Amino acid sequence: MDVKIGLIGKGNVGSCFLELLKKKENYLHKEYNLRIIVIAIYEYDGALINEKGLDLDKIISLKERFREHKDWKDNIKPIDSMQKINLDLCIDTTPTNPDTGKPALNHIIDALNNHIDVISSSKGPFYLKYKEIHELAKKTKTYIKYEATVASCVPILSIKDSLNGNEITSIKAILNGTSNYILSRMTSEGVAFSVALKEAQELGYAEADPTLDIEGYDAAGKLVILANELLNWSKTISDVKIKGISKITPHTIELAKLEGFTIKHLAIAEKDILFVEPRLIEKDSPLNIGGTLNVIKLQTKYAGPIIIMGRGAGGYEAASAILNDLISIQKLRKRSIE
Amino acid sequence: MDVKIGLIGKGNVGSCFLELLKKKENYLHKEYNLRIIVIAIYEYDGALINEKGLDLDKIISLKERFREHKDWKDNIKPIDSMQKINLDLCIDTTPTNPDTGKPALNHIIDALNNHIDVISSSKGPFYLKYKEIHELAKKTKTYIKYEATVASCVPILSIKDSLNGNEITSIKAILNGTSNYILSRMTSEGVAFSVALKEAQELGYAEADPTLDIEGYDAAGKLVILANELLNWSKTISDVKIKGISKITPHTIELAKLEGFTIKHLAIAEKDILFVEPRLIEKDSPLNIGGTLNVIKLQTKYAGPIIIMGRGAGGYEAASAILNDLISIQKLRKRSIE
């Protein structure tokens, strides 16, 4: 089966996805009889478009200079182009404004309205307009998937399909690698928040403006998606009570240590309430993970806790989640055709 | 959709499954339009049989005295009965001989030969005859699932479907709660192996004859299933190099501790080799879990390690895995009918 796809955003995640697609070309064909044909790659100022399929090898080798490719055209917008070129599936990897979800939200709505299936790695649209997006997908009979939005490669959204014989009752998680790295360093080295933050920035774990990470907004967005998906809630980020970690001092951590606790920036969904805040957890808790990892603890009704962890960020990590979404959608499409 | 099922084995897992089925009756109907009708419950000496559906409430309330129920008939064998009563699906929860896989292996073969889908919580058949069972299922166009055989409620087999965009390259795991409990107690309390074993037996974590657990055979069987399923291998338990934990002394553990390590009974599949043996792991490793939990670390090609943990045993835990298998099979059946 040929699947014609358009990629929106050729940043780190988008570029890694193209590379992964090349590496997995034979596997996709052999295992699923899938031939993925990338016919459009959109950037903010134009697009690479070739309706017979873009030359990915060439585009990958051009790296940042992809606009020099013969198929590049200036000033093309996804909304104008996607109707014309008959896309089967659209992959959105654009960075989004945390308050409006744009431009990703617009790309998603445009694609769904054009009856094009969507995969997204942008959180914003889903913590702002979860219900509306799903209603639109239902109305337009399209599939929408977004595994990469929460904990990147960790399959925490699709795991739901493996727990239908059980029932998830609450969620506790560490969903932001930056704040976890900072707290881990403050705990192991006894350094001040500002020192640990600076170190994280030097290592590339924290952005120049780390507000969204350290104040809990990033984790809160992911928590909304988790709760809506796994607990069948219908929340937005404005429902989350959010407290950051910038007021935590080495002294606070030391006091916790004395009693066998450590401090983690937890995202919690339980009893219809969502919150992100620094909390004491026992030193031996499986949630006590170091570095930039993400961890999610699902409390279940019939089998205690199930805990899953892995890297919460990274280009290939997100790309592998996107590719799994793509395979899942094609399986569903295939079944609906049969 | 009505699904007529037969349960083989009314021990702890079988009984919990019947209770879970009652608790989830409305959910199954509302969410999946499924009506599960248990028409046979087989034990070694007879069976409860009612082709219109057994009265589960009554049978559950009778507990161990279920043979007093009016539908009980002595000396009925699954192989003779299952052809006659038109079962859609057979759930095997019988204990198995670790060397032959019987009687579960026979039940599975009989059901598949009669074109009946199978769910099993018995490991033996799968670490002994994995390939043969799958070949038979393919030939007879039946589905076979066995999530409960490895780490109970932890969805470690079905997680594969969530990682198709990635590639699992190796597995490290703790798959036996008994030996993990013993090593954990030896580590935290400094007691001898024999003392920790006795404690585990008193708490019901270890059996009167703990050989299969402490010598690694139980973990080896689970490891074979994991490797065959997740790495597409085709091994049996005779391919596993197995070493037990009975020779570990408090002194060995103390020496490891001095260098920041702890000793765990690891099950490892890597580079075409399977082994179960005590190994040093770093104190901070996510594999360093206490108590009777199970943990599985999947090393992936594109996104580092993904780690999942939870309870590795228990009646409801296994029952919830069986019920998820049941829902998965019905989804596949529905699609193949549409």
A26 with A58, same domain? Answer: yes
Alpha helices (runs of H) in A164-249, residue ranges in sequence order: 177-189, 193-202, 211-214, 217-230
Give the pLDDT band (50/70/90) at residue A337.
low
Instruction: Give, to the nearest 10 degrees, the angle between helix B12-23 and helix B25-32.
Output: 60
Distance from CA of B338 to the nearest CA of A (A): 7
**In chain A, % of residues over pLDDT 90:** 94
Name the strands in the sheet holding B261-270, side by side, starting at the edge strand that comes first in the sequence.
A240-242, A273-282, A261-270, A168-174, A293-300, A304-311, B304-311, B293-300, B168-174, B261-270, B273-282, B240-242
Distance from CA of A75 to the nearest CA of B (A): 32
pLDDT at B338: 54
| Token representation of residue B94 | 């019988």
pLDDT over 90 (residue A335)? no
Burial (Cβ within 10 Å: 0-12, 13-18, ≥19) of residue A124:
buried
CATH number for the domain harbouring residue B86: 3.40.50.720
Q: Please report the pLDDT score of residue B264 as a whole number.
A: 97
User: CA nearest A240: which of A262, A209, A270?
Assistant: A270
Could you read off the pLDDT of B150-176 as tens digits, one per residue?
999 999 999 999 999 999 999 999 999
**Residues on chain A touching B20 (C-beta within 8 angstroms):** 165, 302
The Cα A302–Cα A306 span in angstroms is 11
Q: Do A303 and B284 touch (CB under 8 A)?
A: no
Can you tell me the mean pLDDT for B143-151? 97
What is the reported pLDDT for A338? 53
Query: Which of B158, B165, B324 comes nearest A321 by C-beta?
Result: B165
What confidence tens digit (pLDDT) does each residue in B286-336 have?
999 988 899 999 999 999 999 999 999 999 999 999 999 999 999 998 876
Banded model confidence at residue A29, pLDDT cuts 50, 70, 90: very high
Q: What is the pLDDT of residue A207?
A: 85
Q: Which of A32, A307, A329, A335 has the most B C-beta neighbours within 10 Å, making it the best mutation to test the interface with B? A: A307
* Distance, CA of B47 to CA of B69 (rounded, Å): 10
Distance CA A197, CA A207 (A): 10
Three-class secondary structure of residue A218 per DSSP: helix
Q: Are residues B324 and B271 in the same domain?
A: no
**C-alpha span between A55 and A13 (Å, rounded):** 19
Cα–Cα distance, A27 to A304 (Å, whole number):
37
Specify the pLDDT at position B337: 60
**What is the distance in angstroms between the Cα of A312 and the nearest Cα belonging to chain B?**
9
pLDDT digits (tens, 9 = 90+) for A130-184: 999 999 999 999 999 999 999 999 999 999 999 999 999 999 999 999 999 999 9
Query: What average pLDDT does chain A have?
Result: 95
Closest to B71 measured CA to CA, from B40, B35, B92, B94: B40
Q: How far is B119 from chain A (nearest CA, A)?
A: 13
Backbone angles phi, psi at B155, to 5 degrees: -80, 60
**Contact assignment for B155 to A159 by CB distance below 8 Å:** yes
Structure tokens at A335: 């079944």
If we measure between CA atoms, which residue out of A233, A104, A246, A102 comes closest to residue A170? A233
β-strand B35-43 against B2-8: which pairing, if any? Answer: parallel
Q: Which residues of A are catalytic?
A: 222
Contact between A303 and B323 using a beta-carbon 8 Å cutoff: no
Percent of residues, chain B, with pLDDT higher than 70:
99
Q: Which of B164, B289, B304 sits opposite A310 (nearest CB)?
A: B304
Q: DSSP letters of A13-45?
A: HHHHHHHHHHHTHHHHHHHH--EEEEEEEEETT
Amino acid symbol at A18: L
Q: Which domain, by its residues, includes A254? A: 158-311
- CA-derived radius of gyration, chain B: 21
pLDDT band (50, 70, 90) for residue A206 = confident
> How much is the average pLDDT of A212-228?
97
The residue of chain B with its CA nearest to that of A313 is B303
**Is there a contact between A164 and B323 if contact means CB atoms under 8 Å apart?**
yes
Q: Which of B10, B123, B222, B264 is catalytic?
A: B222
When mean pLDDT is compared across A140-149, A276-285, A329-338, the lowest value belongs to A329-338
Q: Do B317 and A305 touch (CB under 8 A)?
A: no
Over the stretch B17-59, which tens digit does the pLDDT of each residue have?
Answer: 999 999 999 999 999 999 999 999 999 999 999 999 999 999 9
CATH code (residue A297): 3.30.360.10
DSSP assignment of B279-312: EEEETT-TT---TTEEEEEEEETTTEEEEEEEE-
Residues of A in contact with B154 (CB under 8 A): 306
Structure tokens at B330: 């019905």
C-alpha dihedral, A313 to A319 to A321 to A324, nearest 10°: -170
Residues B63 and B192 occupy one common structural domain: no
Helix (H, G, I), strand (E, B) or coil at B57: helix
**From CA B62, how far away is CA B127, in angstroms rounded?**
35
State the first-to-last Cα distance of chain A, in angstroms, to the nearest integer: 13
Q: Which of A47, A20, A28, A51 is nearest to A38 (CA)?
A: A51
CA dist B140 and B112 (Å) reads 6
Q: Which two tokens stand for residue B141?
A: 């166009």
Same domain, B207 and B255: yes
Same domain, A210 and A262: yes
**Taking chain B, what is the end-to-end CA distance rounded to the nearest angstrom?**
13
Nearest to A158 among B162, B166, B338 (CB): B162
Chain A to chain B Cβ contacts (< 8 Å)? 141
Same domain, B123 and B187: no
CB contact under 8 A, A320 and B300: yes
Is B166's CB within 8 Å of A153's CB?
yes
CB-based contact B210:B201 (threshold 8 Å): yes
Residue of A nearest to B332 (CA): A335
Tell me which residue in A162, A289, A327 faces B324 most closely, judged by beta carbons.
A162
Q: Domain check: are A327 and A244 in the same one?
A: no
Q: Are B281 and B331 found together in one domain?
A: no
Give the Cα separation of A136 and A255 in Å (integer): 50
* Nearby residues of A41 by Cβ (< 8 Å), 6 or more positions away: A6, A7, A10, A14, A18, A47, A48, A49, A54, A59, A66
Helices B177-189 and B250-258, interaxial angle, to 10°?
A: 70
Contact A108, A74 (CB under 8 A): no
| B169 & B146 share domain | no
Same domain, B304 and B329: no
Residue B222 annotated to the active site: yes
State how far the Cα of B302 lies from the Cα of A314, in Å rounded to an integer. Answer: 10
pTM, two decimal places: 0.96
A168 and A275 both lie in a single domain: yes
Least CB–CB distance from B316: residue in A303, A320, A322? A303
For B182-206, how does the pLDDT look when each residue is reduced to its tens digit (9 = 90+)?
999 999 999 999 999 999 999 988 8
Tens-digit pLDDT profile for residues A286-323: 999 988 899 999 999 999 999 999 999 999 999 999 99
Contact yes or no for B301/B164 (Cβ under 8 A): no
Please give the Cα distance from B44 to B112 (Å, whole number). Answer: 20
Whole-number pLDDT of residue B284: 86
Q: Sign of dihedral through CA atoms B162, A61, A102, A244?
A: positive
How many structural domains does chain A have? Answer: 2
**Cβ separation A155–B164 shorter than 8 A:** no
pLDDT per position as a tens digit, B241-261: 999 999 999 999 999 999 999
| Coil/strand/helix, residue A140 | coil
Closest CA to B101 of B82, B129, B80: B129
Q: Judge if B75 and B129 occupy the same domain.
A: yes
Nearest by Cα to B7 from B332, B327, B319: B319
Which helix (H) or strand (E) segment holds residue A288: the answer is none
pLDDT reported for residue B334: 81
Q: Which of B153, B300, B322 sits opposite A306 (nearest CB)?
A: B153
Identify the pLDDT of residue B122: 96
Residue B74 near residue B41 (C-beta atoms within 8 A):
no
Chain B residues whose CB is inside 8 A of the A163 CB are 155, 320, 324
Interface test with A, best of B164, B320, B337 (most A CBs within 10 A): B164
| A contacts of B166 (beta carbons < 8 Å) | 153, 320, 323-324
Binary contact (B162, A163; C-beta < 8 A): no
A266: helix, coil or strand?
strand
Spacing of C-alpha A181 from chain mean position: 19
* Chain A residues with beta carbon closer than 8 angstroms to that of B163: 155, 320, 324
- Among A221, A24, A214, smallest CA distance to A104 is for A221
Q: What is the arithmetic mean of pLDDT over A90-115?
A: 96
